Chains A and B, each alone.
Chain A
Amino acid sequence: MKHLLSTSELSREDAIHLLDLSDQMAEVNTREVKKLPTLRGKTVVNLFYEDSTRTKTSFELAAKRLSADLINFSAKGSSVSKGESLKDTALTLAAGGADAFVIRHSASGAAHTLANSGWINVAVVNAGDGTHEHPTQGLLDAMTMRRRIHGLGATAQRDLSGVSVLIVGDILHSRVARSNIHLLKLLGAKVTLVGPSTLMPHTELFEVDVNLDFDDALAANPDVVMMLRIQTERMSGNFFPSEREYVRNWGLTAERFARLKPKTLIMHPGPMIRGLEICSEAADSPQSTIVEQVANGISVRMAVLYSLISGERSLDV
């Protein structure tokens, strides 16, 4: 693996390997000294064109726990008209001897462009590109499901065959949804998308089920309900009429939560808006994995960085 740009590019073997490795990294994160010398002398650049405290911090911790040097670069605005181009920024930072670029960008495909344009010969990790993908989020969600469903210590080499997952909310604009769809399907899970038709993309190539009726989808007793963040600016875009109508139809309300079987996992990539897409009863329940997801995120990112840059540097571009 040279880059991690999207979960759609992973093979099943790659995915299982990364998840197993993530579990091993999770063990490290329980140690008294949460630091490994593994990436000593390597440099990781956090190239963040969007505000993202959570993902940025998670990658930062991951890099530091593996003893890599870390450079945080934050830039606002991205187009050539607004200042230095992505190309020039990448060239400048790479000239300082970077081994990996972790890029968050508002443009879908920005990570692909950084990796494949021939500008630099550095491993690229996509930390979220526009409305395309957020592959480490997909991996951490799959990791969380594996650990909960199979049990700690029983995850090695396992996939998610037979696990039914609802992804609920603004699928259209969600890079989290896209990364999850590809990865969960690769791992054998059955994915159903739920949300208003205005926030549902063309799904033909995703090969998933779509059910616009949340209650109907819940009646099938899913193993996992993954709620996506709903951005209030979608209202002004006329994607749905009001908060009230959204909650009534697609919110994980206390009433809907009460109907779930006790083992159904409640997931949310954060940041969540209580009372809109998810109620506090669900968010704070034992079934909720929301806090675990954050912890697992660090392990997944350690696994990804280890897989990409611990070995000898390949000379091919």
Chain B
Amino acid sequence: MTSRTVLNSDDIGRAITRIAHEILESNHGTDDLIILGIPTRGVVLAERIAEIIRRNGSAMPADFLGRIDITMHRDDLARQPVRAVSPTNIPAGGIDDKVVVLVDDVLFTGRTVRAALDALNTIGRPRAVRLAVLVDRGHRQLPIRADFVGKNLPTAKDERVSVLLSDIDGSESVVIEQ
């Protein structure tokens, strides 16, 4: 198995910062903004994006960050052993008529995002849903695209893209393994 590092710690930091600014820019500020991380690493990325927004935004509501578990909306549950479910936390004001930005680490087939959109449906009706990902590696199986992308990464289908984040993995990089 060969592996090569495509983003290092600094690259990741810059990408997150850029995404945060792009979100602010496209939303014309922080009004009605909700950031929801998709477990596991999307939650950490969402926290970091939120932190940057909090530092740069004005009149930010205290409670605009959350997490949404998509496990129970997956379409492949019956093909695998029982999957662990993570907690879902939705900001107290709910998501109705808000702009929800979903955050995940890697955009691949699009099935995770599809599940996240379904999960959102059970919680409320946002005015708009956006998608932010650290890496877009292509090979979509559903008509889904990201609004904010840290890095577009051309990959072969059988390659594995791993995002390592210090909060979870102890080190920080994006690695392609074959």
Main secondary structure, interface of A, reads loop
Cross-chain contact of B83 among A32, A36, A308, A310 (Cβ < 8 A):
A310
Quick check: A306 and B85 within 8 Å, CB to CB? yes
Quick check: A311 and B81 within 8 Å, CB to CB? yes
Quick check: B82 and A307 within 8 Å, CB to CB? yes
Quick check: B72 and A36 within 8 Å, CB to CB? yes
Question: B62 an interface residue at 8 Å Cβ cutoff?
Answer: no
Q: What chain B residues lie within 8 Å of A23 (beta carbons)?
A: 87
Binary flags per residue of A30-65, CB closer than 8 Å to B gives 1, else 0: 011111111001100000000000000000000000
Quick check: A310 and B73 within 8 Å, CB to CB? no
Q: How many residues of A contact B (CB 8 A)?
A: 25
Quick check: A36 and B87 within 8 Å, CB to CB? no
Q: What chain A residues lie within 8 Å of B122 (beta carbons)?
A: 28, 31-36
Interface centre among B78, B88, B122, B123 (most CB of A within 10 A): B78
Interface centre among A23, A156, A307, A311 (most CB of B within 10 A): A311
Known: A24-B86, A37-B72, A37-B118. A312 touches B79 (CB 8 A): yes
Binary flags per residue of B72-100, CB closer than 8 Å to A gives 1, else 0: 11000111111111111100000000000
Chain B interface (Cβ < 8 Å from any Cβ of A): 69, 72-73, 77-89, 118, 121-124
Nearest A residue to B71, CB-CB: A38
Q: What chain B residues lie within 8 Å of A38 (beta carbons)?
A: 72-73, 77
Q: How far is the CA of A272 from the CA of B86 in the complex (A)?
A: 35
Cross-chain contact of A310 among B77, B87, B124 (Cβ < 8 A):
B77
Q: What chain A residues lie within 8 Å of B84 (beta carbons)?
A: 17
Closest CB of chain A to B36's CB: distance in Å? Answer: 14
Q: How far is the CA of A42 from the CA of B77 in the complex (A)?
A: 11
A66-B72, A311-B78, A311-B80 known, 8 other contacts, Cβ within 8 Å? A17-B84, A21-B85, A27-B88, A31-B122, A36-B72, A156-B87, A310-B83, A311-B77
